[in-house]
Structure 1
């Protein structure tokens, strides 16, 4: 029997090596080992032998009841740890006597296995039982179950029982109250418990700091950290520093984060895995990618958290290719890929990312059974649409069992991105019928779709609907989209009037939209008005110079164009090189104007010249208004 191999020195699990029966403490130790190792078979066998040899135990003595309870409670714990809650409940119901430990064991077991309804029912029965009063272990266990807004009333009720039972001076109970209140969103109550505690330890301070960070009160958390260090009564631990680093990340407080990093170096705590991940997150969110990368490459050990952090760091800083390399490294290294990692890598896909790679990740999603994860599916919808595959994007959307506002927004944006405004508007109606409330992003995508389809009246109606029916305050992006929509329709005067009617500063995006519209329609007068505003709002931006030079080119005003280019050079403003790309046989090739770096450049240009010759033969005449500005600036001066 397997039990004999586990304990080879004992012939019978109830016989010691001297031949005497094991006492209640020895049996409890055996059951504890079974629970720890999940060895249900051996644990059940011991239970059977307990029943068989019940008379061998000295339960008739003065300590008999206490010893019996000791063993029954050990059995309850064993069944709970092995996940056999029904067996634990049967045993609990048949126990002739119980104590507080018995109730606590059952409550903890159901809580570990997410049986919240049973937890509340058991606690109610225990409270109503005068024989078995709750203790601080009961209270802390119940408070750990209060981890959401829906538990706020229960949390307050237990807080009342803390006072009734006289546990208000217990540090562990106070710490549990603080944690549960912050998880329930009752920030003021959590802070009040902290303020009224007669004694605090490092867990107390860390619980408040962590709770404040989780609820995005970053400045308050850092203020408390400074107060803790000044008091010198409690020494911060690694979790305290972790919370402070997370607060710095939320505020993008680089200087404060560097000070904490220095403290961690002095204390020798910088190599902790969680600390390293938090530092990488801090530096990447503050734009110091090089510092984040140094921590990453110097780490003695890497886990999925640290790899996910650096992956997201690359993605957020526009280094999509590096993020993909990190992801491939994770897959090849056998690191467990979770839905968060999948969502992060799908977020880096853009128009110049390989669709074949995206499909491989989709296969991995199916293999890992993440296909029911809403956030992963949202990432797939975006990935396919950005890579040009609207059909598969819509297929993923239609097959989603659960959709949230992000799902609908992603699909609406996909149709808008592909110029299908009718489908985007149709999906908006379906979204409302499904009972999902539209967000500011929904209307941004819809107005964008109307802009490209020339649906000006519909776009303006959506703008009014957003404010009137949904009480959503437009952002600068919404205003820019409206200006773009009016501009594309040739309504430049109306676009200017709309901008001047805004109660707030229009912002860079709005002026760029107006200037872009002037470029399309070749209106240098209105364009100069927009460009002058853009020069003031964004002096380092190349957009006003490039767009004005294009406008002057279309009107044949070569001297004005040359003056604009000269001013751009004097201001030392550089233009980012435009890139086009194509994917052939799972390989992406990218190009810039007059690119000669591609290994097949000669063949490509020979093919292009052949196509151009064929186009001219078919009657194509190039519109020089849109190509002359690509030539040398002195060509027409």
Structure 2
């Protein structure tokens, strides 16, 4: 009779547990005491389970503590509650106190440790479980494999795989899916695919995992084919698999993973959109947000707008995706519009909203709105600080960036390596040595002084401020160096006209086993060009050819510049003709090379070939071709090209263009036209134009205009020796000795001194410079 009563009450308790009927359960608990079953462990275990299910943990623990006889199920009930609540400290303490344990006990603790991100401890507990003679179940292995995937511990994953085979779980779908995740996260797609092919009945989790594995390892096409196979085999497609394939389409459409057919991925994304509607998932908010994200990252904001407008419900995530999408399109106005709509609909922006708005404004160059967004953040994250700082640098407002960095320090926000690199860029941009030194000190305080990223910024800052001794000090103090640091120091020496030292460092870099990059070669070729060192330039050319940089357009442009400046224009043209890709810089270098060597007709012909090829000329192109015309006496061609700058190409002529055309006119003896142009141009007070005119007056002995040009130059810069020397030379060539003495007297009165000139010569692979003293001896 007592046995029947116990079973009857147990069934009633189970009903209360299923329905979470707390009140009825308490009445049953009281009835158990009243009929003398207060020592019945079986019933009391059910009551404990009921209290935990109804969130009355106090009653449950109190009952557990007072139970006269506890069994394994009693202990497991409390352990399960601790594990579900994430109370790992009490769970581990209770586990240690248990008089006996079963597989459920071990599984509970292991899975709780994995959920609590204590993966290493979970692996330790699993090893202890096996050592104590318990055989892991599929639940055990699924939890342990999850820990292996998080830790990217493939060796542990393989041991679990072997264990699964040993205990007969190698075909269990839960274990196989967990193994797939480990191999996928560790980038072992071949192992994952082999496992997938051996599976007898893969499910939707299996296919979704394989899609993620392929996408993660830059194999977008295979990921899409896996979804297609899943669909053809009639595997149930759920919201998770649809969200995964949308992520794959997003990855491909963004041009990631080396998959650049964005239109194909966009089309596939729209097919998936249709499938979502067909399968009735259009009300799944998470899935709809994935769809929004796919359209937004593909830049198809019209489709994103349409999806957003038809969403049955929206979340803050939905608004954030739209704001980020318009930010990606550099449309800060539309992003602001969505932010305003978001607020008017009762949604409170979160940190991600402000970061997305800030990114939108930074990308659009709208720093006024960007600063407003930043100021709205109660406690900006370090990424937000970095975004606003980089935004100010992007628009060239280095002063505000430095000011904001100081505010960041006053707020006790610890900078990271990105912050320091950004602010060092501002210090370099403004050549603020003292501010740069303060950032250097801050980097040491934050323990980033040995960080390669920060070190490169420090080297660049000291180089820009002309302090190569400090730049070299930072470089030499680094415990290890990467190619960026080497490039920074070489570029620093090059920037400060220390080209021989840059060449020496380049050689040291190669001796240390560091492979040069495009930037390395472009920089060192510029050094060879400035030194007119054809021997060194050819050595670098040979190294480039050996290492496969010949098709790089930037390195190729630097190589053309080097050959031209070393006087080997034909060799430069030969290389130019072989280049598979050319940009405006490449054409400019070749045109300028012809200009430098007085081959004006070839420069003009090349310029016209550039126009025919569809390459758009820029301001430098016109400087090069006009210089060529000037040096070769092609005055009419120069005038024609000058007139086309604004008329045909929509560019406003700048000072350099006016200088070139005036030089061409004056060299051709067309002083009247040159004077008329000077009267109309907006650069009348620039000394360069007058110097050019004065030089041409010497060629044609135009004393009247020479005197006027010299007077203008002396007015603009009385201490510049050039106009005195040039005017005196004109008088000398005409035998006007009284005027020569007058110029010399004027120089003496104003204490103007002509500086020495320099020449350099290359011999025995070394480059020496020679100072040429010139005391302006005028008879």
Same fold (TM over 0.5): yes
Q: Deviations over 1:365-398 (max 9, x none)?
A: 3333323222222222212111111112112222
State the partner residue of 1:164: 314
Query: Structure 1: how far apart are the matches of 2:444 and 2:374?
Result: 30
| 1:113 to partner: Cα distance | 0.9
**Residues 354 and 587 of structure 1 are in contact (CA less than 8 Å); yes or no, is this contact kept in structure 2?**
no
State the partner residue of 2:210: 75
Further displaced range: 396-405 or 570-579: 570-579
State the partner residue of 2:189: 40
Further displaced range: 106-115 or 384-393: 106-115
1:401 to 574, 577, 580: 580
SS of residue in 2 equivalent to 1:579: strand
Cα distance change, pair 219–371 in 1 and its aligned pair in 2 (3 A) = same
Query: Structure 1: how far apart are the matches of 2:160 and 2:421?
Result: 51
| 1:30 to partner: Cα distance | 4.0
**Residues 562 and 633 of structure 1 are in contact (CA less than 8 Å); yes or no, is this contact kept in structure 2?**
no
Further displaced range: 414-423 or 472-481: 472-481
State the partner residue of 1:625: none
2:320 counterpart of 1:134 = no
Map 1:445-460 → 2, pairs under 5 A:
445-460=624-639
**Residues 515 and 544 of structure 1 are in contact (CA less than 8 Å); yes or no, is this contact kept in structure 2?**
yes
Query: Structure 2: how far apart are the matches of 1:160 and 1:276?
Result: 49
Query: Structure 1: how far apart are the matches of 2:304 and 2:490?
Result: 38
SS of residue in 1 equivalent to 2:684: coil
Map 1:85-100 → 2, pairs under 5 A:
85-93=220-228, 94=230, 95-100=235-240
Structure 1 unaligned segments of length 5 or more: list them: 56-67, 595-629
**Residues 604 and 625 of structure 2 are in contact (CA less than 8 Å); yes or no, is this contact kept in structure 1?**
yes
Query: Structure 2: how far apart are the matches of 1:497 and 1:520?
Result: 20
RMSD: 4.1
Cα distance change, pair 367–632 in 1 and its aligned pair in 2 (3 A) = closer
2:542 counterpart of 1:363 = yes
2:443 to 264, 282, 304: 264
2:696 counterpart of 1:517 = yes
1:554 to 718, 733, 746: 733
Query: Structure 2: how far apart are the matches of 1:342 and 1:461?
Result: 37
2:571 counterpart of 1:422 = no
Structure 1 length as normaliser, TM-score? 0.77
Cα distance change, pair 476–493 in 1 and its aligned pair in 2 (3 A) = same
Cα distance change, pair 561–495 in 1 and its aligned pair in 2 (3 A) = same
State the partner residue of 1:485: 664
2:690 counterpart of 1:541 = no
2:751 counterpart of 1:571 = yes
State the partner residue of 1:343: 522
Query: Structure 2: how far apart are the matches of 1:159 and 1:281?
Result: 46
State the partner residue of 1:299: 478
Structure 2 unaligned segments of length 5 or more: list them: 1-153, 321-348
Query: Structure 2: how far apart are the matches of 1:233 and 1:592?
Result: 54
Q: Deviations over 1:169-207 (max 9, x none)?
A: 453465356446644767778667656667642222322
Map 1:275-286 → 2, pairs under 5 A:
275-286=454-465
| 1:415 to partner: Cα distance | 1.7
Further displaced range: 425-434 or 161-170: 161-170
State the partner residue of 1:106: 248
Map 1:578-617 → 2, pairs under 5 A:
578-579=758-759, 581=761
How many matched pairs?
A: 577
Cα distance change, pair 585–240 in 1 and its aligned pair in 2 (3 A) = closer
1:385 to 564, 586, 589: 564
Structure 2 length as normaliser, TM-score? 0.64
Query: Structure 1: how far apart are the matches of 2:301 and 2:574?
Result: 40
**Residues 476 and 506 of structure 1 are in contact (CA less than 8 Å); yes or no, is this contact kept in structure 2?**
no
Instruction: Give the number of the structure with larger relative contact order, counting CA–CA contacts within 8 Å between residues 6 or more apart.
Output: 1
